[in-house]
A and B are shown apart, each in its own frame.
Chain A
């Protein structure tokens, strides 16, 4: 769920595109979006059989810019650029990769800060609460638009992984493989608690104005900052924070004040400031709710095996040992349910020190596994072409 990390000086130049939809989309909450836009990017070339498409789903604060750079902005590298690109584990010389900003987002797709055609002003608080299922439905319409009947793979980490898992339930025929990385079949009480702290920080900010802060010309920056700080801490492991910051002092000495004293405070404030600059508070609130609501087993009496019964995909499930937000035990619940259903599944538990954020980082074992899995997918795709 962390911000973009830069690798690969030779990153390809991409241009975001917009797909407009006029067919109404009924959301899980009952609301209907009469029309909406999705902003997306593509990398590589769709083959003539349209069998090499890979959908990459984003997590909490990322978006459609998954790889490459924008023309004239070489510093703006996609958030999963270490994973996706020419010659990378998801090789865009072989696969046609799609990144899409989800509904309710704040990076160009229709969301709370978009203009509501019914009122001519921003949706604000009136933008409905969306779910993983709604996102997947909207992504399926984008796939229709792009002429993709079946994805070679749908992949994601964290909340992105929840979408790839949901894809296999909602559209079993429309993907051959799902990569489910640093995932959980639902949020624990502790996870929801962290989200609620983040939401309370935003909602109780005097600049929030019940979500209609746009018309007041302000943003609930203070709340958004605290929300980001709480979230960020949960993405890192204790050991990682200890090795990165320890008890290092910013200025070498204690000042006996509430100014920044420890390096970790400086880091958190920096991250929070950066985040509050570009992220929309209404989107943040909604995405934490998307996480809280995700629970495919709920409608099957808590039985995940039953929930995954419709699935037809093959799976690669990956967890990270120090991820305490979505621990390996949560991934193993998914694996067990897949085994019960006799799905093809490979499960790897990567011994990485970085906590939940590990899914975004360079780790040789992790990237080799993903590369090997995509090699397998490519072989199947090649086979189908013959």
Chain B
């Protein structure tokens, strides 16, 4: 679900910093393959994407990215246990029907996972809710009636989710407008980027 359209998103650089050179990467909902191409250039990865949309599959072929057409909601059954160093879910977690299963699948197929999602606890979102409206912003660009986002969460929610399932958070980055946020992340951070393992 990357809607980058050639524009490098701020979470890409954060992800690239964690990915070791030459590693094997599976990008779930890889869009037109921008992130995979970025990682190929920056980290010489061996990458594959999974994507459901015909037009994005075509874009991946044009961009020279390995892509497998498939529906993430059906899990990753075509992929063997531990077959990737990293499985990435970039700005897609909130749109999954079964968020818990995909996180488990990421840790089955990958040695480690990287997930990015818009932080619902970001103060601008809280202000909009306090004023009586569902938030609409750069990171949450949809109206309530046409949003693909069905499982929005806050940074606190995600960390509790991991704690309760013994998922080890390796590292966290919180970004607002591309800049790192270090204090009150769940209030001041617009975008959360997590690196986790089992």
Contact = CB atoms under 8 A, between A and B. Distances in A.
Interface string A287-320: 0000000000000000000000000000010000
B58 interface: yes
A97 interface: no
Interface in A329-374: 332, 335-336, 339-340, 342, 344-351, 365, 368-369, 372-373
Contacts of B183: none
Contacts of A372: 58, 61-62
A332 B54 CA distance: 17
Nearest to B60: A346
Nearest to A373: B61
Contacts of A347: 67-70
A345 B58 CA distance: 14
A346 B67 contact: yes
A193 B24 CA distance: 41
Contacts of A351: 54
Nearest to B84: A339
Contacts of B169: none
B188 interface: no
Interface string B43-85: 0001010000010011011101011111000000011100100
A145 interface: no
A293 to B, nearest CB: 26
Nearest to A333: B78
A46 to B, nearest CB: 25
Given A339-B48, A339-B83, A369 B58 contact: yes
A339 B67 contact: no
A320 to B, nearest CB: 12
B134 to A, nearest CB: 33
B2 to A, nearest CB: 17
Interface size class of B (residues with CB under 8 A): 10 to 19
Contacts of B61: 316, 346, 369, 372-373, 376
Nearest to B46: A342
A376 B64 contact: yes
Nearest to B59: A372
Nearest to A343: B66
Given A342-B24, A346-B68, A348-B69, A336 B80 contact: yes
A375 interface: yes
B78 to A, nearest CB: 5
B50 to A, nearest CB: 10
Nearest to A370: B61
A369 B54 CA distance: 9
B81 to A, nearest CB: 11
Contact of A348 (B24, B48, B57, B79): B57
B80 A340 contact: yes
A197 to B, nearest CB: 32
A351 B24 CA distance: 29
Nearest to B55: A365
Contacts of A335: 68, 78
A339 B69 contact: no
A351 B53 CA distance: 11
A229 B161 CA distance: 58
A356 to B, nearest CB: 18
A193 B46 CA distance: 41
A149 to B, nearest CB: 25
Contacts of A375: 62
Contacts of A373: 61
A340 to B, nearest CB: 6
Interface in B23-43: 24
Nearest to A305: B80
Contacts of A365: 54, 58
A344 B66 contact: yes
B69 A345 contact: no
Given A344-B66, A345-B66, A332 B60 contact: no
A334 to B, nearest CB: 10
A297 to B, nearest CB: 16
Contacts of A349: 69-70
Interface in B12-26: 24
Nearest to B54: A365
Nearest to A379: B64
B62 A339 contact: no
A340 B109 CA distance: 12
Given A335-B78, A369-B61, A373-B61, A340 B66 contact: no
B83 A369 contact: no
Contact of B78 (A336, A342, A369, A376): A336
Contacts of A369: 57-58, 61
Contacts of A342: 24, 46
Kindly list the 6 A-B residue pairs having the minimum CB-CB distance in the complex, ordered from nearest. Answer: A372-B61, A347-B68, A349-B69, A336-B78, A348-B69, A372-B62
Given A316-B61, A336-B78, 20 more contacts: A332-B78, A335-B68, A336-B79, A339-B83, A342-B24, A342-B46, A345-B48, A345-B66, A346-B60, A346-B66, A346-B68, A347-B67, A347-B69, A347-B70, A348-B57, A365-B54, A365-B58, A368-B58, A369-B58, A376-B64
14 contacts: A335-B68, A339-B48, A339-B78, A340-B83, A344-B66, A345-B68, A346-B66, A347-B69, A347-B70, A348-B54, A349-B69, A351-B54, A372-B61, A372-B62
